[in-house]
Structure formats: C-alpha cells, structure tokens
Amino acid sequence: MVQINQAQRELALKIVYYGPALSGKTTNLISLHERVASEVRGRLLTVDTKDDRTLFFDMLPVFFRSSNDLKVKIKLYTVPGQVIHAATRRLVLQGVDGVAFIADAQKSATQANNEAWRNLMDDLRANGLDPLEVPIVIQFNKMDLPGAMSDEEIRDAGEKGTEPVFRAIAVRGEGVVETLHGALQLTYRDLDRRYGLGAKFRLSEDEFLGEVFRSIDPRDSEVDAARVRAMVVGSGE
C-alpha cells in the first residue's frame, strides 16, 4: 500500500512486475534501469539462479521531487516465476499499488500465462486485495520470436478483460517504457481517487508522469518526450 508521510512530505509507491518464469520481467527492469537518468535512480538489485533470472526480487527505485516539494519514490519489483517460489511471490505483492503482468507472447506459453494470471488473482486476494480494484496492465513480451501471437490474437485476448495491453520486445527495450507509463498512469488515478493526491499534495497526473518520464530515455518508445516536457513545464505554471 502506498506510504504517505505528510509531515515529511514523502510519497512511496510500489509497482510489481508479475508473470510466468522467463517471460521477461527482469529484462523489463534492466532496460528501464539503463534508460533512467543516474541521478534519480537507485541500484538495480538482482539475484540470479540457474533456473530463472530472479530468485527473490529486483528493486529499482526512481526518485523525484515535485514542484510543491513532495518527494516521490517509485519502487519497481519483480517476482520469481517458478511454481516453487509461490510464497515469495505472495510476499512481494504485499502492499502493492499497481501490477504489470508480463506475459510470454509465444503461443506455446499460453498455458503458463493463464496459470500465472490465476496465481496473481489468488495472491492479491491472499493479501487482502480485490483484483478488480488493483491497477493492472498486461504486456505481451517476446513479440519477435517465432510462434508469437499475432496482433489480432493479442487484441482478442485483451478484449476478454479491461486491462490495457502493450506489446513488447524487452531485450530491445521496445514496449518497456509504454508499459511502465501505463502502469503508473492507472496507479496515480487509483491513488488520487482513494487519497486525493491532486488536492492534498497539489500533485497532478501530468506532473507525476512528467517528472518520472522526463528522466527516462524514450528512444524506441511511443511515450513522447516533448509531451512529457510539456507536462512538467505546464504543472509549474
């Protein structure tokens, strides 16, 4: 759950990248870490294993200070995908504010994707969260591989739910910025609805997103750098 310290004027929120083993969760964070300006990012912590990239979690904190002097910290985590680490996944989801579900776009991975999605729903409920109220975006990664789903198939899959869907080739950095942007946009709107971020801290959606993404290299993404700069400039007027 978002941590709000009004006395210290600090806001910390948590985004978790969830999905089946080897779907590209850690690759998303590595790509983002490479794009975030060094002065506003923390260390990328990883634990490699022989059977999956991450045993426990990755954490990539991103910092900024708003025009109204609010310090914002965004913590990005991943969870291990293997079945044997179910307890760890559930633990990492504690206090989550938003989720990026990273699916493997290969048709052969459909069963693994579906199982991971069911696990996500179960893990959210186990943490006392209603899956229908948690901001979730879906990324179909590995779009470059043989056997990947077509755009039409992904569109059909996306229409089964209400979550925004993104396509990605995370090893090339394609789609990772858009996915994070989508997750943070939904998360801001949810937190503003529940806690009144805009009114209480004078932190608008435009400034929130603008401050984050002006420090992220937008190359190969559809997140427009000029629009991001305009968000930040406009928020200070």
State the CATH number of the domain containing residue 26: 3.40.50.300
For residues 112-140, one letter each, b for 16 or more C-beta atoms within 10 angstroms of the residue's C-beta and e for the rest, the string is bbeebbebbeebbeebebeeeebbbbbbb
| Mean pLDDT of the 190-201 span | 91
pLDDT at 55 over 60: no
Nearest to 82 by CA among 56, 108, 47: 56
Give the predicted TM-score (pTM) of the model. 0.89
Full domain range(s) for residue 21 = 3-235
Around Cβ 229, how many Cβ atoms within 10 Å? Answer: 13
Question: 119-128 — which CB contacts under 8 Å span 24+ positions?
Answer: 119/86, 119/89, 120/18, 123/86, 123/89, 123/90, 123/93, 124/93, 124/96, 124/99, 126/90, 127/90, 127/93, 127/94, 127/95, 127/96
Least confident of 188-192, 215-219, 228-232: 228-232
> What share of the chain has pLDDT > 90, as a percent?
55
CA distance 223 to 175: 10
CB 104 within 8 A of CB 154: no
pLDDT at 185 over 90: yes
| Residue with the larger pLDDT of the pair 2 and 164 | 164
pLDDT at 214 over 90: no
The tally of domains found in the chain comes to: 1
pLDDT for the residue 79 = 83
